[in-house]
Amino acid sequence: MSKLVLSGLTKRYGSHAAVDTLDLTVESGHLVSLLGPSGCGKTTTLRLVSGFAVPDGGSISVAGQVVSSARGVVPPEKREMSMIFQSYALWPHLTVAENVAYGLKLRKLPRADIERRVQAMLDTMQLRRFEARYPAELSGGQQQRVGLARALVVEPKILLLDEPLSNLDASLREEMRHEIRRLHDRFHYTTIYVTHDQAEAMTTSDLIAVMRDGKIEQAGAPDDIYERPETEFVARFIGSTNILRGRRVGEHEADCDGLRLVCESGHWPEDGSAVVSIRPHRITLSGAADGSAPGTVERAIYLGAQRHYIVALDAGPKLQVLASSDVLAHEGERVGLTLPPAHCRALIR
């Protein structure tokens, strides 16, 4: 079992806490994404887990054994972890097969075992026909597969990925997201995946930890983070949303610039203010007389399967609306919006 526990983990650079008393448990065999903007502490956290950085406070344990604390760390090479970097870090003078075999040779395994494991991994990664090629002769996606193969062939206790898809184009990133999840479902390694791309986190993860200023703002399953954000930061970072501000006027009701909203879920600030999130695709756009919130279409964008509208409400706010392509409204047209209470969520700041 390779359960990973981070307890009160802290790393400072001068007076700045890059990681600030962070607590996180990664269950054995789970894939957890650290998601957040640049500078939030996610890569520093990964470096602490890998042993490349020493914590100033707190501890890291694997399977109940402490591997890092302010008192000392187990060296990276003795942690039975594999790390994949943004650059893939392939040896340019080694072939694909030699790159994959590199970690096994360092461990001084018998030659027959190395050959067997390398060939099995090349088959799994669909790289057998490229085994004699050098990294410069491969595409970005193929290089990424070699990096994954080299990391997985040593059968690590924990797999660490530091924004591994950031150097790929959009179509390859989408393909590799599914490939990473397929491999995880096959091998079930305990995995930490660092990314700033919410689509990557949603596609690959069992659990997402959204980070901000060195702390975890919220952690949960992808659908939980998306459908039930607790703070404005999380709601904005995970997908597109409309944020409306005002004051609380009832147990479940807010007044946002004259627009009355009922929120069936969420958390209200203690000071009597209100911050309400509603996703664009949860809003219904109809004729001016049909919706509870009348307004005027300021912008209409055709997106193929959907249409994206920006509607200026008579009450003041402007809302984004995503509707199916057969819901047609023109710029300047009067419309009505319906904001269902089941999809209006109260947030804390």
Instruction: Give Cα 221 to chain centroid, integer Å.
Output: 11
Read off the pLDDT of residues 128-142 as tens digits, 9 standing for 90 and up: 999 999 999 998 888
- Continuous segment of H or E residues that includes residue 254: strand 253-256
Read off the pLDDT of residues 248-304 as tens digits, 9 standing for 90 and up: 998 999 999 889 999 999 999 999 999 999 999 999 999 877 778 999 999 999 999
13 domain residue, yes or no:
yes
Per-residue pLDDT averaged across 64-73, rounded?
A: 93
Question: Does one domain contain both 24 and 126?
Answer: yes
**What pLDDT was estimated at residue 84?**
86
CATH number for 173: 3.40.50.300
Q: Give Cβ neighbours of residue 271 (< 8 Å, ≥ 6 apart).
A: none
pLDDT surpasses 80 at 96: yes
How are beta strands 273-278 and 242-248 bridged, if at all? antiparallel
pLDDT surpasses 70 at 124: yes
Question: Does one domain contain both 140 and 246?
Answer: no
pLDDT surpasses 70 at 1: no
CATH number for 267: 2.40.50.140
Question: Does one domain contain both 24 and 89?
Answer: yes
**What pLDDT was estimated at residue 315?**
85
**What pLDDT was estimated at residue 263?**
96
Radius of gyration of the chain (CA): 24
- Continuous segment of H or E residues that includes residue 203: helix 198-204
Question: Does one domain contain both 175 and 310?
Answer: no
Per-residue pLDDT averaged across 195-212, rounded?
A: 94
Domain total in the chain: 2
Domain boundary among 227, 261, 284: 227
Query: Exposed (0-12), middle (13-18) or buried (19+): which is 224, by Cβ within 10 Å?
Result: middle
Dihedral of the alpha carbons of 145, 146, 150, 155, in degrees to the nearest 10: 30
Q: What is the mean pLDDT of the chain?
A: 92
Question: Does one domain contain both 248 and 269?
Answer: yes
**What pLDDT was estimated at residue 256?**
92
Domain boundary among 227, 248, 280: 227
Worst-scoring range by mean pLDDT, 80-89, 210-219, 340-349? Answer: 80-89
Read off the pLDDT of residues 171-180 as tens digits, 9 standing for 90 and up: 778 888 888 8
| Owning domain of residue 166 | 4-227
